[in-house]
Amino acid sequence: MSHALIVIDVQNDFCPGGALAVPDGDAVVPAINAMIGDFRIVVLTQDWHPAGHSSFATSHPGRAPYDMIDMPYGPQVLWPDHCVQGSDGAAFHDALDTTPANLVIRKGCNPAIDSYSALFENDHTTPTGLEGYLRGLGVDRLTLVGLATDFCVRYSAVDAARRGFDVAVHLPACRGIDLNGSMAEALSDMRGAGVALR
């Protein structure tokens, strides 16, 4: 069985100067570049929203970024417009070494559903296809790194652990948003799901 590195959303919009900048987000780049060569299987994810995506505050008149709304699949944070398909903000950070990547998986493409997790959309039932890819290669262990610790890394790690993967999150190569205590909640949720925090 083998071990894959999953690099979550290291995109310009999540780095300083981006539309949804994660504090110190670009600090993950050298940390990831230093470890990426150690894995035989490397997957990069990209948040990849159509313009007017339902997770954008601008799609909900009278709402502001970081408001909460109820979507058919549950509560949803409204975000600034970010990672619009094909935009510079959606591109990987220039300094990220993408050369060793075996697969790039794009998520959040359905205009009506957000997708934090690399495995399932936020309805928790629509798969992205990543699990099938990993199973097909005999992968049973995952190391996750990237942005943001408390959103896409968290939901990816918890979903993967629930699906039976042996999951570790390498925190020195992650940075979080920390919205209303979301960082502490994310760490305890990941621990509770059996994710190793390193």
- Indicate if the alpha-carbon torsion angle 188, 190, 196, 198 is positive or negative: negative
Q: With binding defined as CB under 6 A, does residue 48 bind ligand VGL? A: no
Q: Is 120:152 a contact under the CB 8 Å cutoff?
A: no
Q: Given the rule CB under 5 A, which of 29-37, 101-109, 137-145, 166-174 is the region that contacts Zn ion?
A: 101-109
Is 152 an active-site residue?
yes
Give dist(CA 64, CA 57) in Å, integer: 5
Give dist(CA 144, CA 155) in Å, integer: 11
Binding at 165: pick from ligand VGL, Zn ion, none (beta carbon under 5-8 Å per type): none
Question: How many CA atoms are closer than 13 Å to the CA of 37, on its beta-carbon side?
Answer: 4
Sole binder of ligand VGL in the list 4, 6, 9, 41 (CB under 6 A): 9
Residue 131's DSSP bridge partners are: none
Q: Given the rule CB under 6 A, which of 123-131, 148-156, 165-173, 190-198 is the region that contacts ligand VGL?
A: 148-156
Q: Which of 15, 83, 152, 174 is catalytic?
A: 152
Q: Which is nearer to ligand VGL, 136 or 181 (CB)?
A: 181
Our CA angle for 133, 139, 141, nearest 5°, is 125
Q: How far is the CB of 61 from ligand VGL (least distance, A)?
A: 20
Question: How many CA atoms are closer than 13 Å to the CA of 25, on its beta-carbon side?
Answer: 27
Is 9 an active-site residue?
yes
Phi/psi at 59 (5° precision): -85, 0
Q: Given the rule CB under 6 A, which of 67-75, 120-128, 144-152, 164-172 is the region that contacts ligand VGL?
A: 144-152
Q: Left, alpha or beta for 77 (phi > 0: left; psi -120 to 50: alpha)?
A: beta
Sole binder of ligand VGL in the list 48, 120, 151, 165 (CB under 6 A): 151
Map residues 75-114 to x or -, x wherever contact with ligand VGL holds by CB under 6 A: ----x-----------------------------------
* Residues listed for the chain: 198
Q: Which is nearer to Zn ion, 77 or 168 (CB)?
A: 77
Which residues make up the interface to ligand VGL (CB under 6 A)? Answer: 9, 14, 47, 79, 116, 147-148, 151-152
Which residues make up the interface to Zn ion (CB under 5 A)? Answer: 47, 108
